[in-house]
Chain A
Amino acid sequence: MSSLNKKLVIAFLFIFMLGSFGFYIIDKATKSRIDNISIIGQVPSFSLTNFDGSVITDQQLNDKISIVSFIFTQCEGACPIMSENMSVLQQRFSASDDVQFLSITTDPDYDTLDILEKFSSNYSNNDNWFFLRGNLIEIIELSEKGFYLSAALLPAGHSTRFVLVDKELNIRKYYEGTIESNIFELQSDIVTLLNQG
């Protein structure tokens, strides 16, 4: 073999190795995305009232990918950012019937159905986003024991996290609802779940 041919063979081997390495890494990254949204827990049964008066129970979460958050309408810090982010997600997934959103108020005394309806019209433009209220004690329990989110000193002490729930009511992952990179992550995880069927 001439020295040029030898060099070519070495170059090809090198490229082949790099390609295999690249393939391995890409595959690993793809799998890690699925592993990273492994099941954390199960959503308990609940019964809350939507702003339009309808009763929404855990059954509503069946066969849908749900994003759940806790907010209250008078909140001026995190909630507007959270709701704005959720609104963006609602728009981006508007073409899918399989994605829905739940915002549960931590201030049911002030947040009547009328106030929730008004609040919802600021952010939501589809009926796949539920703004829910219920008994405060039940909401504390749902937040702490159901979604493993702190609910001390309500209303203001609610968690600012979004919860990703799959079609079988499994809690899959949490995202900081005010941080852009977390929303980015949530978006790609929703796509991952949708692709899994």
Chain B
Amino acid sequence: MSNKFFFRSAFISTILSYLLIFVGGLVRVSGSGLGCPDWPKCFGRWVPPTSIEQIPAHIDPTAFNIVLAWIEYGNRMLGVIVGISILLMTIIAVIYFKKNSKILFSSLLSLFLVVANGGLGAIVVSSVLNPFIVSLHMILALFLVSVLSYVTIESYKLINTQKFTGILLSKKISISLIALWIFIVIEILLGTGIRTNIELIAIDNPLLSKGELLESLNSYKYFHSILGFSLLFLSFYLCYLFKDDFLGLSKQLVLFIFVMIILQIFLGELMIFFEMPQLTRLFHTWGSSWLVGIIIILYNTLQYEQSQ
């Protein structure tokens, strides 16, 4: 009973966190990060102002833009909801899973990460959207969904023991999966580096077009493409390794990874050829967060199989 209860709370926390990454990405691509000049309140109010008259006298109303304020505040509100859901999950973990250190410690870690990232959000605002800090905010969020994905699959295994029949995990698969995960993390860091540098260059050169900004980057931007295609081959190799399938879930997951990587390359190329339309950027970032989580889930389903 408590197993099922915990799995549900972990699952909801994970899904909400993925949504939060989407909304956070939306704030970045729509340029709404300074929609609220203060933190945690917005123009001195817990509910953002809907008209300029509602702004208190001590706050300069110059920057007030109702649309940007609500986009930014939407991110903060969803952040609070995610925080509460993780807090509830952690409380359940502390009460019922004192002896399951995997679940207990990863729940506590996710609680720490969500609080830390909320605090980092304050620094994002006070730094006037310093691109490094904005990127760090996203990387912490990726770390959070990784831990949450782990908690979710671990608790799923507790309530579905019969689904995980004893099949041995080959060393090849294990190494390939770990390699895939590490390379994807490197790929994300490269991508984040590209974005950070584009923003840094754009601050000093507001007249450059998106295409010119891409041009002005160092040649390391090609590593992102090259590694992207390498990941495609690696995931294709994984599909091959899984051809004799263990169980439905693993095969679905490995196919999902393969399709996601193709999609990511497609979105990445779209960004280059159409000078980075914002929606493409948003899904490109969001897709990377899914990949990180799904690989963790896949790996942990297999580990279980091995230990049977």
**Chain A residues close to B by CB (< 8 Å):** 4, 18-19, 22-23, 25-26, 28-33, 36, 91-93, 95-96, 161, 173-176, 179-182, 184-185, 187-188, 190-191, 194
Contact = CB atoms under 8 A, between A and B. Distances in A.
A54 to B, nearest CB: 27
A93 B202 CA distance: 11
B62 A182 contact: yes
A183 B70 CA distance: 21
A155 B144 CA distance: 54
Interface residues of B, number: 28
A92 B205 contact: yes
A182 B62 CA distance: 8
A194 B68 CA distance: 21
A191 B206 contact: yes
B249 to A, nearest CB: 11
Given A19-B279, A188-B206, A29 B60 contact: no
Nearest to B125: A181
A32 B92 CA distance: 44
Interface stretch (B25-33, B83-91, B235-243): B25-33
Contacts of A19: 279, 283
B62 A28 contact: no
B207 A25 contact: no
A96 B22 contact: no
A29 B32 contact: yes
Contacts of B65: 32-33, 36
5 contacts: A29-B68, A32-B66, A92-B206, A185-B62, A185-B63
A191 B207 contact: yes
A187 B31 contact: no
Interface in B113-140: 128-129
A177 to B, nearest CB: 10
Count chain A CB atoms within 10 A of each CB in B26, B63, B71, B278 and give the residue with the most: B63
Given A26-B29, A33-B65, A176-B62, A185 B206 contact: no
B34 A181 contact: yes
B204 A92 contact: yes
